[in-house]
Structure 1
Amino acid sequence: MNALSNSGHVSASYVNLLFDWLDHARPDVSQRLPFARPAAGDLNRVNVLQWQAMLDWTYQQLEDPAMPLKLAAHVRPANMGLLGYVASCCNNLGEAFARLQQFENLVYSVNSLQVNFSEDQLLLQWGAERGKPGHWVDSVAIGVLVAFTRHLVAVPVDPLKVQFINAEPGNKEDFRAFFGCDVHFNQQVTEVVWPVTLLDAPLKSADSVMRTMLDQQAQLLLSQVKAGEETIPGLQKALQESISAGLPNLDEVARRLCTSGRSLQRRLQEQGSSFRHELESVRVEMAKSCLNAGNLSLADIANLLAYNDQSAFTHAFKRVTGSSPAKYQQAN
């Protein structure tokens, strides 16, 4: 197995999948784990070399070549950290894949994801610019991606093709059965191919903190509309959806309101407001819900609300509320 540079890492939430699976499937092996369970949270990272060692040790105990696929099948949104919460808030799989590309570095930072289109196909590809993490690491990663996708969509769809950069294992049929399609090895890149129509696939309702938070906010927005407090009908909902999709900009919000950015800006000016003010207000209300829930770190919330960094989020929150996010959370 080839070593990676030390810059490669996976999130603690992702690594916890191994501990959760062993607790469920093989508690006898779980009790012998020579590794400490990592603390949950996207900023708590585990070096890929450590992750390799964990998977190597697990295989040596189980001697089951299907181990990475069985592990991947156990994935839940919580194991994907922030990405799991965010994906549960998307309207369709296309938005979820866009967020995957945006937040991949928080969950699985090894070789970068490239998204390409070829006729009626969507291609998710990973090269080897940082090296090859090896069969176990890659198999778990791609298995988790496909299993997580199946978990998200209302009507599961198998990939059209899966291929790996690694050598062909002795249990190729296990891979074909798991992915439900042809699986190739010894390729130039690791790749998952989906039908492009899958991007429009609606997501099933997810029982997550973020979904609950957004449902509560939807009720709040509805009450504000009934009370006539909304400056432009549908504006706050469009802002909330644009933030959740990672596109909190004027043109995107205007598109959701079926108008132009210039027209939206003019209407807001006529009412003594501005796009920046309205966006910041909704972001802060979403941040308050996240802080009250207490399940996400400040860095998570900054990423969720599509700020450039945690510092920008902190300054914006303090500008609106007069208090830092940390102090607000402590007071509530």
Structure 2
Amino acid sequence: MTTRSILGLAYTVNSLKSLGYLPQPVLERHGIKLETLDPFAEIERSLELQILSELFAPVASPHIGLEMGIRIGLAGYGPFTMLLMSCQNAYEACRAGVRYQSVGYSYGEIRLDTGTEVTALCLQPAALPNALNRIIIDRDVSGTYRLIKDILLNIEQEVSLAEVWFSYPKPDDVNPYEAMFQCEVKFDQPYCRIAIKNTELSTPFPNANQTAYDYYRAQCDQVIAKRTESIEHLSGKVRKHLELFAYELPSIVDVAEAFGLAERTLRRQLKNEETSYQKILDSVRFDKAKQLLQTTNLPIDEVASRLGYQEAASFNHAFQRWSGTTPSKFRKNT
């Protein structure tokens, strides 16, 4: 089972909050706290869809997907953004975007169609529950449009679309679509499509750099490899759940509740897989500790606190047991 970046869900939740909806009760039912989410975490695709179904159940606005997608800026894509910005021009960025589309948030398969006058990003939407279909398609198309706009702003150029397609029947009110895309919008098409005039795609990017491109491509490759790892066993699912949290990692009682299991049952099933909650927790803490030590300047006692240790000495002892060195020496040598 594949996973997806937690940021897609986080941006969706934040958008719903800004539009007046209350997503927290849904997240709490799944043992998730938005304020403690780890931005580097991954979430199972099936779990994300379940949460999205529950989040959108009370939503009445037919254009909520458009409003959410347009709110996802460049910063939300991590190394994927830097990969695109280091390309030679917007056309090469489109090609790289298609190649590494799984690093993004779209549900479906994207391809690039080139013509003499226009180049089109075409999205074949994934099969989704009816309640989610239009919302997710709107989010993905408007989000892709926002990404194109932001990339072209890199060369101080406005995006000019030739045409936009949607794969579902024409809604009663098409004005929001025409106002957003400023071009002809067609519905009930075989797939979704954003057609860009070729004149928009050939201007060189000022930050084009092959070395940077290779570096961020390697990072995207690592993300993809991680997302395709199998997590069929309960221990893997528990680990993925713990990885969602940047700090205040949940207790075994919290995890059992999130999985709909009794604590005793969870312990027994993990034992059957020759592991334990404590072993999984220690492994997750070790990975998060290394990440914090390598990528931040947080004091050691603050790192310890984020990982749930009351005292830095306890964290130092645990880290030395895991790595054979102290947190300070590890940070110095990386």
| TM-score normalized by the length of structure 1 | 0.55
Corresponding position of 1:178:
180
What residue is the counterpart of 1:29 in the other structure? 22
CA contact (8 A) 2:106 2:140 kept: no
Query: Does structure 2 retain, via aligned residues, the 8 Å contact 1:152–1:204?
Result: no
Per-residue deviation at 1:156? Answer: 2.3
Question: Deviation of residue 245 (structure 1)?
Answer: 8.1
1:44 to 2:42 alignment: yes
Q: CA offset at residue 187 of structure 1?
A: 1.1
Q: Does structure 1 retain, via aligned residues, the 8 Å contact 2:86–2:209?
A: no
Compare 102-111 and 142-151 and name the one that shifted more: 102-111
Contact 1:161-1:192 at 8 Å conserved across structures: yes
Separation of aligned partners in 2, 1:29 and 1:202: 44
Q: Structure 2: how far apart are the matches of 1:84 and 1:196?
A: 21
Alignment of 1:93 with 2:79, yes or no, is no
Unmatched runs of 5 consecutive residues or more in structure 2: 219-292, 297-328
Could you say which residue in structure 2 is the equivalent of 1:119? 116
Shift of 1:141: 0.8
Cα RMSD over matched residues?
3.4
Q: Which amino acid aligns with 2:151?
A: L
1:186-201 matches, within 5 Å, as: 186-201=188-203
The 8 Å contact of residues 125 and 192 in structure 1, kept in 2 or not, is answered as: yes
CA distance 1:238–1:328, change in 2 (3 Å)? farther
What are the within-5 Å matches in structure 2 for residues 114-153 of structure 1? 114-127=111-124, 131=127, 134-153=133-152
Q: For the structure 1 residues 330 and 23, does the alpha-carbon distance in structure 2 shift closer, same or farther, using more than 3 Å as the test?
A: farther
**Which secondary structure state, in structure 2, belongs to the residue aligned with residue 64 of structure 1?**
coil
> Is 1:74 paired with 2:74?
no
Partners of 1:84 and 1:143 in 2: CA distance: 17
What SS does the corresponding residue of 2:188 show, helix, strand or coil? coil
Secondary structure, in 3 states, of the residue corresponding to 1:61?
coil
CA deviation after TM superposition for structure 1 residue 18, in Å: 1.0
- One-letter amino acid of the counterpart of residue 61, structure 1: P
The TM-score normalised by the length of structure 2 is 0.55
CA contact (8 A) 2:87 2:93 kept: yes
- Name the amino acid aligned to 2:175: E
CA distance in 1, matches of 2:150, 2:213: 23
Alignment check: 8 A CA contact 2:164 2:193 kept:
yes
Q: 2:83·2:213 contact (CA, 8 Å) conserved in 1?
A: no
Q: Find the aligned partners of 1:91 and 1:244 in 2 and give their Cα distance.
A: 15
Matches within 5 A, 1:302-313: none
Contact 1:113 1:124 in 2 (8 A): yes
Change (3 A) 1:21 1:119: same
Number of aligned residues: 217
2:11 is matched with which residue?
Answer: 17
SS of aligned partner of 1:122:
strand
Q: Is the 8 A contact 1:12 1:40 kept in 2?
A: yes
CA displacement 1:138-173 (0-9 Å, x = unmatched): 111111000121122222214211112222223322
SS at match of 2:114: strand
Unmatched segments (≥5 aa) in structure 1: 1-5, 206-236, 248-290, 295-326
Residue 106 of structure 1 is matched in structure 2 by 103
Contact 1:90-1:244 at 8 Å conserved across structures: no
Residues 70 and 239 (structure 1 numbering): CA distance in 2 closer, same or farther, change over 3 Å?
Answer: closer
Q: Is the 8 A contact 1:160 1:194 kept in 2?
A: yes
Separation in 2, partners of 1:81, 1:242: 13
Secondary structure of the residue aligned to 1:168 is coil
Q: Is the 8 A contact 1:99 1:245 kept in 2?
A: no
| Aligned CA distance change for structure 1 residues 125 and 132 (closer, same or farther; 3 Å) | farther
Q: Does 1:240 align with 2:211?
A: yes
- Deviation for aligned residue 1:71: 0.8
